[in-house]
């Protein structure tokens, strides 16, 4: 099994990567990659495991970012408390919105999440007293351990290790989940909800659980993002990010763990690499995206399967 050797190798490489170069811009890209990986992995819980498309995921990212920023600014708790609160607040929103929307499936669910996302965006944009509206919040302090004073993360390298840790932890959690009873319930629900229900699985509860976890993790990613970039605006909730995340998950390979991480890498690296092309950049990006969908409908991870014949799809029933 090559993956036995591959996985530790990848982790060692990931740990060593920032020391390969002193170029801080490269570190910045690595942080973005990891942040997007975390977000894509969380969205993958909804797309890949629950089997529904959410157009509202960026809103939870934004809620996390605003929560962490405001907690940091108003209570001086820019650190673990801020991130935990970001997760809780985003998760709470996820619970309410999931509770309301998950009874509905398919395109209607997608539009419901789009509607909720858009309402959250509009409120963020207009509630100037709380969020400073369209001008956003700038000068967010760096991430400390427990608020002000004490050690704080400043360089991109530190944020890289933090986000790498979060990605590995969440990826492991996804892996463990998929191999547990609950995980099997997830897959059964995605493949055939009525059948799963007849087997005694509480389909709605399983879906809600997945949705809340996904939104809470997106909230954490938002919190780290706010402290890292030190500036946020309502644009973090815009459709541009929603589309970007969906692209990462599906181009990488939905329902897998490596897929969203690879998808995030391709997104960040490709856009950066194409910068030299100037105005052609987004056209080429779109063309490559479309070509990859048409020629590799199973995502980039399906390439691996073709090479090794190994099944990377965790228990995906024939469609």
Residues 52-81 touching another protein, rule: CB under 8 A, are: 53
**Judged by CB, which is closer to another protein: 152, or 270?**
270
Of the candidate residues 130, 199, 243, 317, the single one contacting another protein (CB under 8 A):
243
- Please give the C-alpha separations between residue 260 and each of 33, 160, 179, 313, in angstroms, as whole numbers: 11, 17, 19, 13
Site for another protein in 124-163 (CB under 8 A): 125-126, 128, 133-136, 138-139
Number of residues that bind another protein (CB under 8 A): 75
Listing DSSP states for 184-237 in one string gives HHHHHHHH-HHHHHHTT--HHHHHHHHHHHHHHHHHHHHHHHHHHHSEE-GGGG
Which residue, 187, 223, 231, is CA-closest to 207?
187
Q: At closest approach, how far in Å is the CB of 140 from another protein?
A: 10
> Among residues 106, 149, 151, 155, which is the contact residue for another protein, using CB under 8 A?
106
Interface positions, 285-304, toward another protein (CB under 8 A):
285-297, 303
Distance CA 86, CA 66 (A): 8
**Of 81 and 98, which CB lies nearer to another protein in the complex structure?**
98
Tell which one of 165, 280, 311, 317 touches another protein (CB under 8 A): 280
Q: Return the beta strands (E) in the chain as ranges.
A: 137-138, 231-232
Nearer to another protein, 104 or 168 (CB): 104
CA distances from 302 to 9, 92, 248, 253 (A): 21, 35, 14, 7
- Contact flag: residue 100 with another protein (CB under 8 A): yes
Can residue 17 be called a binding residue for another protein (CB under 8 A)? no
- Phi, psi dihedral angles at 231 (to 5 degrees): -145, 135
CB of 8 to another protein, least distance (A): 25
Among 17, 111, 152, 173, binds another protein (CB under 8 A): 111
């Amino acid at each position: 099994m090559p993956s036995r050797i591959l996985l530790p190798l990848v982790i060692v490489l990931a740990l060593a990567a920032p020391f390969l170069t002193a170029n801080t811009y490269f570190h910045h890209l690595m942080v973005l990659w990891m942040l997007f990986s975390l977000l894509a992995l969380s969205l993958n819980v909804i797309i890949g495991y629950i089997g529904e498309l959410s157009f509202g995921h960026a809103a939870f990212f934004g809620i996390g970012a605003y929560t962490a920023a405001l907690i940091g600014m108003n209570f001086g708790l820019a650190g673990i408390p801020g991130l935990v609160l970001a997760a809780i607040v985003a998760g709470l929103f996820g619970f309410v919105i999931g509770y309301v929307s998950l009874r509905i499936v398919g395109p209607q669910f997608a539009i419901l999440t789009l509607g909720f996302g858009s309402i959250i965006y509009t409120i963020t944009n207009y509630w100037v007293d709380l969020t400073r509206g369209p001008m956003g919040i700038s000068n967010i302090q760096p991430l400390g351990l427990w608020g002000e004073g004490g050690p704080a993360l400043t360089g991109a390298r530190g944020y890289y290790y933090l986000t790498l840790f979060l990605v590995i932890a969440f990826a492991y959690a996804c892996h463990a989940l998929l191999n547990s009873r609950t995980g099997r319930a997830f897959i059964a629900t995605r493949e055939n909800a009525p059948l799963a229900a007849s087997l005694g699985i509480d389909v709605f509860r399983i879906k809600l659980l997945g949705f809340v976890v996904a939104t809470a993790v997106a909230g954490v990613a938002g919190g780290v993002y706010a402290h890292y970039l030190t500036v946020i605006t309502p644009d973090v909730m815009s459709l541009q990010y929603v589309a970007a995340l969906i692209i990462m998950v599906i181009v990488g390979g939905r329902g897998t763990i490596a897929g969203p991480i690879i998808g995030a890498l391709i997104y960040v690296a490709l856009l950066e690499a194409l910068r030299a092309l100037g105005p052609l950049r987004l056209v080429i990006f779109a063309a490559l995206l479309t070509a990859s969908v048409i020629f590799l409908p199973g995502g980039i991870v399906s390439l691996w399967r073709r090479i090794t014949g190994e099944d990377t799809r965790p228990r995906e029933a024939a469609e």
